[in-house]
Amino acid sequence: MPVRDLDNFLSNTSKRLIIHFNRGASGIDGVTSTALGIAARKKPTILITGDLSFLHDLNALAIAAKYSIPLTIILINNNGGGIFESLPIANRVKNFNEFFITPHNLEIASIVRSFGINYQLITTKTKLRLQLKNSLNKKVPSLLEIQTNAARSVELRNKYFDKVKRKLNTEFPK
């Protein structure tokens, strides 16, 4: 969802951003490694990724730590496969959770710290701003984890998009 969120909500910025993204087997293979390659230029680089993509390429943290690559990872952790909650099939398949959701129940902080990577749990927008700024200034690998609830995220997105649709229908009636 992070790439889709950027597409939906960041299109009107005046800042010059270079956005890279992977598309492959669901787009999750090698995401962190790709970001490390980009960050190796020693320019501020931010990776926004989900927990499954992150865990799929966990070994990349060893490279980040070994070479002090200045990558800031913002990890959206919904405990496995939350993107599937937003698909129409979520309400139609009897055993949806069993077949589509892959909860890992892992403590990300311990994993990240075991590689020697800076870690921060983000619980507020203010903390995100502060820790993001700190991370970019330190120029070493860091991970900022945002823990979310997949079902609640879908609910909030639906409310937001319904509000936008109502506003558009009011402003531009048929």
Residue 121's CATH number: 3.40.50.970
Q: What percent of the chain has pLDDT over 70?
A: 88
**Is the whole model's pTM more than 0.85, yes or no?**
no
Nearest to 75 by CA among 155, 141, 152: 141
Confidence of residue 4 (pLDDT cuts 50, 70, 90): low
- Structural domains in the chain (count): 1
Q: Residue 128 belongs to what domain range?
A: 2-171
User: 5 falls in which pLDDT band (50, 70, 90)?
Assistant: low
Nearest to 55 by CA among 87, 83, 77: 77
Q: Please, are residues 58 and 29 in contact by the beta-carbon 8 Å criterion?
A: no
pLDDT at position 136, please?
Answer: 94
pLDDT tens digits along 50-96 = 998 899 999 999 999 999 999 999 999 999 877 777 777 777 778 77
Instruction: Out of 88-102, 124-138, 141-155, give the one with best mean pLDDT.
Output: 124-138
Lowest-pLDDT range, 1-10, 141-150, 165-174? 1-10
